[in-house]
Amino acid sequence: MSETTNQTNQKSQTNQKSHQTNQVPDGGPRKTSSSALTELGHRVFGGYAELLRMPHTARYSIGGVIACMPFPMIGMTITISVQHYYGNYSLAGMLTAIQAIALAISTPLLGKLTDKFGQRQVSIPTIIVWIIAAIALTTSITNRAPEWVLYCLTPLLAAIPPWGAMSRARWTRLLKGDRERTDRALSLCGVLDECMWVVGNPLASTLAVISGLLAFSFTGVCVIIGALMFLTELTTEPPSQSDLARAEGITRKEYRAREAAKAQALKEQTAVEETRRRLEREGVTDPEAISREVARTVDEVRSGKVKKASIWGPGLVAVCVTWFGLGAFQSAAGISIIAFATESNMKQYTGFVFACFSISSLCGAIVYGAKNWVIPLWKRFYFCLAVVNIGIGSFMFARHLWVIMIIYLLIGVCQAPTWINGNQLMLHLVPPSRLTEGMAWMGAMNSIGASAGSAIAGQFIDRMGSHGGFLVVTALAMGSLAIALIGFRQIKSSTEQPTLTEVAV
């Protein structure tokens, strides 16, 4: 019995020595570093993983990103292919501008139709039109068809379903009432979008240099695969306005009017509560004075009501105008960088430069979405916007393509957060059944700005070379920032409004 006890004590002492040995200075930090990295990884990626583990969410999220491949690839493919076969930057800039204008017109329309009739009902015929148009345009470019043929076919490439807006609408519906996870889901959408740009930009430049037909063919395959993944996932598809109205036994027009009335009532309630808090801080206790002030506040809110249940208000107008400027200088920067790389005999690296911007933006999106921010939304919005605008505006001082790449790497961390902030602003500006339409308008204004920027930059590049293009970029970037500052009051006040997506429908 005593021998057994002695053996037990010896084993205990041995274990203690072994434990003490594991605590040596060399071993301790390794264990601490490993656990710290694990904790950091969980903190950054844990929230995203939790969202993607929800049933069916990974399928439509990834499918939507794959189907969005035309966005990073079409503009660059048209620019490189047209410049190769026609030797004309003005024509390339005009075609990309036409495609962007057509996209700006079609995207809100498709978003509105999607909210009305459903995602599958609108997306399937739209995809068919895009595939036919892509085949026709590719054949025309490679055979050097007359320019008027290209002008006629290019607008049809805007037949792209609003995959990003539809995916965000699904997330908003699934996570309704959960602000923290909704914000993280919007950040996840930004992360996946940046993954698309990271892959799409270098692929577009590489494939388009080899063959425009190859680039368009790859894009078409992505559209078909992504659409099948997205549209065959039926359990997460939000009900359309027609479905909701049919369930209530009313017309779609009556449903939209009732929803607008609910949103208006919520705004009035919030304004009244804010007025009461303000009067309490000022020490006003007279019931009659409080009643008069509350009545005045309600009258002010009602007097600003937009007729016909329109989603347009000062906040949405300010955001859309800001997105117009954002698209203008970024598109001008893209075509100017291609011209600069061509002059430097480095055209094959343009996709890599754009991919660096997307990789940096991807990292920014991952970190930005992993944190629960206490800084007000409007401050985050303007900080990220200023970094992107000022950074891209400095391209005119670059003397080498790699300098532009380094600037892209530095400022790219604020690119995706800028879009994420814009998406979060939409939650304050539009009701849930019109979220796709609201986000589509934001993307449309960005496309209109991109069309203007590429067209203007193309003209200056043909006359003054890439330096003329970068002059346009700087002017547009500074002008865009000035426009955003002009709308400061509207954007700031919109972030102080309740999120209309939380209105019970």
Residues 435 and 427: their CA atoms lie apart, in Å, by 8
Structure-token pair, residue 237: 């598809």
pLDDT the model gives residue 128: 92
Structure-token pair, residue 348: 């094959």
Please tell me what DSSP assigns to residue 164: H
Residues 500 and 505: their CA atoms lie apart, in Å, by 11
CATH value of 55-238+311-502 in 1.20.1250.20, 2.120.10.70, 3.40.50.620, 3.30.200.20: 1.20.1250.20
Structure-token pair, residue 342: 């061509």
pLDDT the model gives residue 19: 45
Residues 72 and 394: their CA atoms lie apart, in Å, by 23
Written as tens digits, the pLDDT of the chain (505 aa) is 444 445 445 544 544 444 444 444 444 444 466 666 666 566 666 777 888 888 888 888 888 888 888 877 777 778 778 877 887 777 877 887 788 778 778 887 888 888 888 888 889 999 999 999 888 988 888 888 888 888 999 888 888 888 888 888 888 888 876 777 877 787 787 778 767 776 776 677 677 767 767 777 888 888 899 899 999 888 888 887 787 788 777 877 777 777 777 777 777 777 777 788 777 877 877 788 788 887 887 777 666 543 444 566 677 777 888 888 888 888 888 888 888 888 888 776 777 787 788 788 878 877 887 777 778 888 888 898 899 889 888 888 888 888 888 888 888 888 878 888 887 777 777 766 676 677 777 777 877 787 778 778 878 888 888 888 888 888 888 888 888 888 787 777 767 665 554 443 3
Q: Are 158 and 34 in contact (CB under 8 A)?
A: no
The alpha carbon of residue 18 and the mean position of all alpha carbons in its chain are separated, in whole angstroms, by: 54
Residues 272 and 233: their CA atoms lie apart, in Å, by 43
The alpha carbon of residue 438 and the mean position of all alpha carbons in its chain are separated, in whole angstroms, by: 13
- Tell me the residue type at 327: G
- Tell me the residue type at 190: G
Domain ranges of the chain: 55-238+311-502, 249-307
Q: Are 167 and 64 in contact (CB under 8 A)?
A: yes
Which letter, b or e, does each residue of 264-275 get, where b requires 16 or more Cβ atoms within 10 Å of its Cβ?
bebbbeebbeeb
